[in-house]
Structure 1
């Protein structure tokens, strides 16, 4: 994996990271913040919660901790809704403090700026341990690849790996099967990708697959539900 990381500004004013070595960004150039809110919050966490409000805590598994944006938004959601969330994220290449400390996600939406300190806190939480971050948000983040990680029962999957043409080993049917097996009945799998092979594989693994409108700049995304 690339060692050089560059901070870039996407079209909605929020930062992302660009890896020149593989010519790939962590988020959409059309808006990193908007992409995370649309794909993972709106069609992921909030969608699951609307159908399963009596089930607590909510167990989220994220493939690719990356910049910590999805984790921070989930923490904010948990605190605002007063619903406990158990968040498990994996990342084989954690960012250095000199990078994550410059990211501007906490300044994009003034209505949640008061949660800004928690962005640094989730990055500073020890790896491979897990514990309480806030009253409603527990998190475990592991330095490990998806192939090797131990998965726990999961309600919502944020599949946020690099694109299939950049990390094809994470999009195989075998790997997807491992993730699907860990999902609880009613579980939701969301990703920014709308590749046909991905949708066919998820269908063959028994999920109900939906092609949904993508975030700004992207026509489609994928959500799949385990019945």
Structure 2
């Protein structure tokens, strides 16, 4: 059964995953949550002209879309690698209202995020290249080196295998010096796993409806 589209408090859509009984974003606002955690606390803290980004949990494509739009302002060259085991159907993706709210002239680009073939490097704009991987993050072997990690898996209560020290250690190994990892989850078990994997970790203010989030980095 496909996820159910729901409306969040900032007017943007999210999805409800029925089997896990968990939403893809905060009900207080999908766009404002993603922009706060991944763009403001993540991408805007990276000053390199070229950024290698790895996303755990491609989901609705909102984080990728926000990053693509931001790259048009910063002129940073983005190579965006995203992993997703259970991709959203193209039919469901077409119903999401993110392009209408963020950049109506980029509707086709948003849909291309979803229709782009897996395991192919696709240039979606002069500054944004997408590479999607359909695999299970809890058991995959990562390749490449990254400057920024968007960690956006379902919660550790629902998918604890995604949030282990082993998985964070793998990410740490594939981070360039100074790389940043951001996530919505500020639980102590996650903070300790990140620290045990080698990251330095700080709690920072979260978006509306969430007191804190985590930002980690590789020294």
Q: Does TM, normalized by the shorter one, top 0.5? A: yes
CA deviation map 1:157-192 (0-9, x unaligned): 000000000110000111111111111000000000
TM-score, length of structure 1 as denominator length: 0.92
1:184 counterpart residue number = 176
| Partner of residue 80 from structure 1, selected from 51, 73, 89 | 73
What is residue 172 of structure 1 aligned with on the other side?
164
How big is the shift at 1:149? 4.2
2:134 to 131, 136, 143: 143
How far apart are the structure 2 equivalents of 1:30 and 1:151? 35
Q: Could you tell me how far apart the structure 2 residues matched to 1:200 and 1:148 are? A: 22
TM-score w.r.t. length of structure 2: 0.96
| Cα distance in 2 between the residues matched to 1:129 and 1:48 | 25
Quick check: 1:101 aligned with 2:94?
yes
Q: Which runs of 4+ in 1 moved over 3 A?
A: none
Counterparts of 2:42 and 2:105, CA distance in 1: 24
| Equivalences, count | 218
**Contact 2:142 2:170 (C-alpha < 8 Å) held by counterparts:** no
Paired residue secondary structure (1:108)? helix
Residue 114 of structure 2 corresponds to residue 116 of structure 1: no
Q: How many Å separate the matches in 2 of 1:82 and 1:21?
A: 40
> Does 2:43 correspond to 1:48?
no
Q: Is the 8 A contact 2:165 2:196 kept in 1?
A: no
Return the alpha-carbon distance in structure 1 between the equivalents of residues 62 and 97 of structure 2: 10
Counterpart CA distance in 2 for 1:136 and 1:11 is: 31
Do residues 70 (structure 1) and 68 (structure 2) align?
A: no
- Aligned equivalent of 1:132: 123
Aligned to 1:156: 148
The separation in 1 between residues aligned to 2:173 and 2:130, in whole angstroms, is 21
Please, what is the CA RMSD of the aligned residues? 1.2
CA–CA distance in structure 1, aligned partners of residues 144 and 99 of structure 2: 29
**Unmatched 5+ stretches in structure 2:** none
Q: What SS is found at the alignment partner of 2:190? A: helix
